[in-house]
Structures are given as C-alpha cells and as structure tokens.
Amino acid sequence: MDEKGKYLYGIVSSDKKLFCTPSGLPAKPIPGKTTANEGVYTIPYKDISAVVSNAEPVDYLHLLKDALAERLISHQRVIEEIMKDFKVAVIPVQLGTFANNKNEVDCILANAYHMAKGIFKKIPNLIEIDVAITWNDFTSILKEIGERNKIKAFKESLLNRSKDITPNDQLKIGLMVKNALDEKKEIYIKGIIDSLKPISQDMKSHQLMDDKMILNAAFLINNAESEYFYQTIDKLNIEFGEKLDFRCVGPLPPYSFYTLGVKKMDFKKLDWARKKIGLNNIATKDEVKRARRVSARSVHPDKNLDIPDTGTEFDETTRACKILVDYCQACDQSGSEGTYFFGEEEFEKNTILVDVRG
C-alpha cells in the first residue's frame, strides 16, 4: 500500500491514468513506469480521477507570502496545463489540500463523486475569465473630482476662513472626494457589467486590491463566446475613452465558481459538540435539527437578557452546531440514510467533508 502523502490539485472527468513531468508540465504516460516516479499523476475512482503529487503535508496558513505565492502559481499551472493538454474538464481543489495516503484520496473521491458529476454536467464547455479594471490615470481622476462644484466650493470656503484648517475639515474633504469617487465607480461598473453579463453564465466579484481598482471579478463564459467577450472588453476600453485599464486573465478552470474544499473532522471536537447540544451517540436527522434549534434558542442573548455571559455561551453553541452540520453532511456523502452515529468507530468512516468553496 502506498502510504505517501498526496497533494491534491483537482478532479478530472476521466478515469484514464494521466501522467505529468516533475516540472508540472503534462507529458504522455510512460508505459511500465510507476506513478511513484512521476511528478504529478491521477488516482482514478469510477469515471473520475484526482490529480495528485506525492508530498508531505505543509501548513499553508503559516507560509511566508512569497512561498505561498510560488505554491499558488505551481498549483494553478498544473491544473491549467492538465485542462489544456489532455482536453478534460477540471474541478480545482482548494490550494493547500493534502491527503495522508491513497486510501484517503479514494475517500475524498467517493464523497465528492455525486457533487463532481453534477458540476461536470455544468462545465464541459465553460471557462473562467478574470477581469481586473483600474483607473488608467488615478491622479487625473482625483483632480477631476476635486473640481466638482460642491467640493471646490467647500475648499474655497476653508481658504477664506481666518482660522486654520482643522483635521475635521480635512476629513470632511477626504470623505466628499471618496463619496464622489465611489459614485463615479458605480456608474462605470454598471455600464461594464451590463455589457459583460449577457455573454456570461455567471459572475463573481472579488475584493478590490486598492483605491485605484474599480472592478475585480470572475466571469464564467462558454468557450465559444470567449472571442466575443474579449471583443466586448476592447469596445468598452474605447467607450470609456481609455480612462480605464482593462486586464484579463484566461481561459482558466472555474476557480471562482466550483473550487472544492476538503474538511477533515476531529473526533474530540465532534464529541464536545454532541454533548454541548445534548445528543445521544445515535440520532436521526430530525433529532439533530431539533437539538440544534432548542440549544440555540436556550442561550440566545435576546431571549436571556437576565443571564450574564450568554454571548459566549451562544457563540460556543453556534460553533457546536456548525461542527455537527459538517459531520452530518460528511455522513450523508458517505451514504448515511438519515441516522447519524457519533461513536469513535463510526466516526472513522465519516471523517471527510467535501464542499464547494467557489
């Protein structure tokens, strides 16, 4: 049995054994060569497969920024090259996902199977295109906003005052400029989205990196529409008089829409949660729902105004309920028929939850 740790990149809609070179660039399978000698390879399950490489687990939460960025690039490169060179649909797995061994990969695939099959039905011809839009000349935009009548009049009134300008005055000017900038952004964003949405199957907004950025979004596009999508971006660039800088990245797998997350359960936490909610070692789905509802109501701060520290108790109960929900979902993925077992022996069969993080 192969007990080496496995790093997961994604799940592909194929049960064929695909192999990649150690650099991460796909290569044709080498007959007679074992997967242990390959950099990246697949582990099949029914008619899907996990794309993995042998690796010891690393705590991604505590990696330095540069090291994390390097691993992200490598992670995405493997997924995108697999998709491009082997012409298969890929559902990405969240960055930093490890399995202890092949058996655990098999368990992840089994739990993800029905979910993955449903996603593959949706995405056979879909790609993601990421669009980041910034002000082309941010200084000029700020100067233009500063010349608006209301802001200009307020600045002039301050200059005409005999007393010095106070920090509150400066704060007010800054707020006026920010509000005006936000209004301008909203007008531009509406025009852009109104043009791109009809071409897109879906759209996800991401966090803006700084004040210069007005839109950071992912668009789910039918591959046949990608050329028209880029043509529309070019037209928008002309329409806005090159005041904006459009940057597109794609085609990509559907990172923002269908990335899979793998959560591993902890028996001690589950046992604590079960006792916190007041459940026995065996419970039906209805009993779990009822216990969660009763427990949350009994410690809700709004319903227990005379009892001190109900906020902490409510937070703990909420955390316990979340642990139980995750475990019950993992049981359902493992084939539970509505009855949940919370003993340690049964727990070992239901330790992994796979869900969509996109």
In the predicted model, what is the mean pLDDT of residues 138-159? 74
94 vs 261: CA distance, rounded Å: 5
**Domain stops at, among 123, 148, 170:** 123
For residues 221 and 110, state if they share a domain. Answer: no
In the predicted model, what is the mean pLDDT of residues 3-23? 77
Give a yes or no: residue 305 inside a domain. Answer: yes
Confidence of residue 227 (pLDDT cuts 50, 70, 90): very high
For residues 98 and 61, state if they share a domain. Answer: yes
For residues 144 and 234, state if they share a domain. Answer: yes
Confidence of residue 344 (pLDDT cuts 50, 70, 90): confident
pLDDT over 90 percentage in the chain: 28
**Domain stops at, among 253, 288, 305:** 253
User: For position 36, what pLDDT does the model report?
Assistant: 43
CB atoms within 10 A of CB 313: 18
Helical segments of the chain, H only: 65-86, 102-122, 138-146, 149-160, 167-196, 226-239, 255-258, 267-277, 285-298, 310-333, 344-347
Helix, strand, or coil (residue 17):
coil
For residues 61 and 95, state if they share a domain. Answer: yes
User: For position 306, what pLDDT does the model report?
Assistant: 59
Amino acid 172 reads: K
For residues 230 and 114, state if they share a domain. Answer: no
For residues 241 and 145, state if they share a domain. Answer: yes
Q: Is the pLDDT at 91 greater than 90, yes or no?
A: yes
Confidence of residue 2 (pLDDT cuts 50, 70, 90): low
278: domain CATH number?
Answer: 1.10.287.110
**Domain stops at, among 95, 123, 151:** 123
User: Residue 68 in contact with residue 235, Cβ under 8 Å?
Assistant: no
For residues 150 and 97, state if they share a domain. Answer: no
Give a yes or no: residue 99 inside a domain. Answer: yes
Q: Is the pLDDT at 125 greater than 90, yes or no?
A: no
Give a yes or no: residue 234 inside a domain. Answer: yes
Mean pLDDT of the chain: 82
In the predicted model, what is the mean pLDDT of residues 291-312? 68
Instruction: Count the residues in the chain.
Output: 358
For residues 226 and 145, state if they share a domain. Answer: yes
User: Residue 218 in contact with residue 256, Cβ under 8 Å?
Assistant: yes
Condensed to tens digits (0 to 9), the pLDDT of residues 17-44 reads 766 654 444 444 433 333 444 578 889 9
In the predicted model, what is the mean pLDDT of residues 208-213? 84
Give a yes or no: residue 216 inside a domain. Answer: yes
Confidence of residue 203 (pLDDT cuts 50, 70, 90): very high
Give a yes or no: residue 150 inside a domain. Answer: yes
Q: Residue 292: which domain range?
A: 265-356
In the predicted model, what is the mean pLDDT of residues 293-306? 69
Give a yes or no: residue 259 inside a domain. Answer: no
For residues 150 and 115, state if they share a domain. Answer: no
For residues 99 and 147, state if they share a domain. Answer: no
| CA terminus-to-terminus distance, the chain | 34
For residues 84 and 135, state if they share a domain. Answer: no
Condensed to tens digits (0 to 9), the pLDDT of residues 267-280 reads 999 999 888 888 88
User: For position 115, what pLDDT does the model report?
Assistant: 92
Give a yes or no: residue 233 inside a domain. Answer: yes
For residues 141 and 45, state if they share a domain. Answer: no
User: For position 317, what pLDDT does the model report?
Assistant: 84
User: What is the total count of domains within the chain?
Assistant: 3
75 vs 67: CA distance, rounded Å: 12
Give a yes or no: residue 260 inside a domain. Answer: no
Confidence of residue 50 (pLDDT cuts 50, 70, 90): very high
